[in-house]
Amino acid sequence: MQFRDLKKQYEVLKTDIDSEIDEVIASSGFISGKKVKELEEKLAEYVGAKHCITCANGTDALTLALKAWGIGVGDAVFVPDFTFFSSGECPAAEGATPVFVDVCEDTFNIDPEKLEQAIIKVKNEGRYIPKVVVAVDLFGLPADYTKIKPICEKYGLFLLEDGAQGFGGEINGKKACSFGDISTTSFFPAKPLGCYGDGGAVFTDNDEWAAMIRSLAVHGKSGEDKYNNIRLGLNSRLDTIQAGILLPKLKAFKEYEVTAVNTVAGWYNKYLADSGLKLPVPKAGFLSSWAQYTIILPDGADRPRIQVLLKEKEIPSMVYYIKPMHLQGAFQNTDSEKADCPVTEKLCGSVLSLPMHPYLEEESVKFICETLKSSL
Ligand SMILES: *Cc1c(COP(=O)(O)O)cnc(C)c1O
């Protein structure tokens, strides 16, 4: 059994994907071009953002947003403590100070109340200027923007939506990657919408930031002239082959994959209903794109042992994430290590992610659930 079955997906989409790849190779246009433009238009339309700028990966997408806003030394950037490293790595790499905020146990996403408390604390201390909130749509579920947005507005902070895992999610019909002042995503193969290598995208409604990000992504070029470099940037473009691969994948994603993963999540919740486990159930109005299906094991459960028992039945499982951000080695002896995040610490010791993808069958889910229950 696969944790995320990319082979099965390729079997289904092979004809279209192969012909896209062949076309790119025959054209010898490997960087940018018509396919990248077509993909950007389709992504922007799907998400409901005015601009989409594709780039080399989801980490660069975050960096491009922070650079467009001129975030750097002396700035505080608020980041959930429970996330993938990039969310905090990118602001720190720009010289800013990540301030790690605890998450809600029932959504795995940043806790809006604790976010506001953290902003007030940083303001009062006066050592750093609060500038940005990075809200992460963890495991496919959009963060609670109905509460986070007003907080950003109240304190005059930019909202950066890290939608690397959230692409395809929704709140009341509005799509993930449209909630931030700037929003980003990743097309890493295992993400909800993945390509066959690295890829990413930035979304915004703001014309000025969009132009700035386009420039930053290509060595700080001026709008008209590629060899007139008016600022320092990155080399961060999406390969044309990856854009070609993403076109049929986006179509499948829109037509049935998001629905399929929600069906799979429904089976898990049904077969685990009597397990006593804490299950991920999106609140009313929220739709997840299920980058992960993650449960919380009961206190005292032997997680490594449970993983071994699952593996004996050829069921792969993963621990996302085993370490809070503020305890990562890179932040030791910096102000970022000073964080009070008991929920994250508890989650890091008790979460377990199970196989999840649009091609998983009900029989397999049932088998996973039965094996898991008997291993508890
Ligand atoms: C994967 C991920 C990223 C980084 O994306 P890459 O394309 O791997 O650079 C950023 N943030 C989160 C939350 C992620 O899961």
Q: Domains of the chain by range and CATH?
A: 6-101+108-247 (3.40.640.10), 256-375 (3.90.1150.10)
Output the CA–CA distances (angstroms, integers) from residue 29 to 10, 25, 193, 239, in the order listed.
24, 7, 23, 9
Average pLDDT of the chain is 97
Task: Return the best residue to mutate from 62, 109, 162, 321 for the ligand 1 pocket (most ligand atoms within 8 A of CB).
Answer: 162
Q: How far is the CA of 90 from the centre of ligand 1 (A)?
A: 11
pLDDT-derived band at 226, boundaries 50, 70, 90? confident
Task: Return the best residue to mutate from 55, 62, 186, 202 for the ligand 1 pocket (most ligand atoms within 8 A of CB).
Answer: 186
Closest of 350, 282, 289, 357 to residue 321, by C-alpha: 350
Q: How far is the CA of 62 from the centre of ligand 1 (A)?
A: 9
Percent of the chain with pLDDT over 70: 100
What are the structure tokens assigned to 131, written together? 């500038």
Task: Give the single-character DSSP code of 81.
Answer: S
Q: Which residue's CA is the nearest one to ligand 1's atom 2?
A: 164
The pLDDT tens digits for 291-325 are: 999 999 999 999 999 999 999 999 999 999 999 99
- The pLDDT value given to residue 262: 98
Q: How far is the CA of 86 from the centre of ligand 1 (A)?
A: 6
DSSP string, 166-194: TTT-EETTEETTSSSSEEEEE--TTSSS-
* Nearest atom within ligand 1 for CA of residue 86: 10
Residues with CB under 6 A from ligand 1: 57-59, 83-84, 86-87, 136, 162, 164-165, 186, 188, 198, 200
- The pLDDT value given to residue 345: 98
Instruction: State the average pLDDT over residues 51-59.
Output: 98
Could you identify the residue written with the tokens 């795995």?
A: 108
What are the structure tokens assigned to 59, written together? 């980490």
| Global confidence as pTM | 0.98
Q: What is the phi/psi pair of residue 355, to 5°?
A: -50, 135
The answer, yes or no, to whether residue 224 has pLDDT greater than 90, is no
Q: How far is the CA of 84 from the centre of ligand 1 (A)?
A: 7
Long-range Cβ pairs for the range 320-323 (8 Å, 24+)? 320/84, 320/139, 320/292, 320/294, 320/351, 320/353, 321/82, 321/83, 321/84, 321/348, 321/351, 322/348, 323/348
Residues recorded for the chain: 376
The answer, yes or no, to whether residue 60 has pLDDT greater than 90, is yes
Decide: residue 255, CB within 10 A, 0-12 exposed, 13-18 middle, 19+ buried: exposed
* Nearest atom within ligand 1 for CA of residue 198: 7
The answer, yes or no, to whether residue 5 has pLDDT greater than 90, is yes
The pLDDT tens digits for 346-364 are: 999 999 999 999 999 999 9
59 near 92, Cβ under 8 Å? Answer: no
Task: Please state, in angstroms and rounded to a whole number, the distance separating the CA atoms of residues 285 and 18.
Answer: 38
- The pLDDT value given to residue 223: 84
The answer, yes or no, to whether residue 86 has pLDDT greater than 90, is yes
CB-CB neighbours of 9 under 10 Å: 19
At 158, which amino acid appears? F
Q: How far is the CA of 58 from the centre of ligand 1 (A)?
A: 5
Task: Please state, in angstroms and rounded to a whole number, the distance separating the CA atoms of residues 164 and 141.
Answer: 11
Task: Please state, in angstroms and rounded to a whole number, the distance separating the CA atoms of residues 17 and 12.
Answer: 10
310 near 325, Cβ under 8 Å? Answer: no
* Nearest atom within ligand 1 for CA of residue 60: 9
* Nearest atom within ligand 1 for CA of residue 200: 7
pLDDT-derived band at 77, boundaries 50, 70, 90? very high
* Nearest atom within ligand 1 for CA of residue 199: 7
CB-CB neighbours of 154 under 10 Å: 10
Task: Return the best residue to mutate from 139, 160, 165 for the ligand 1 pocket (most ligand atoms within 8 A of CB).
Answer: 165
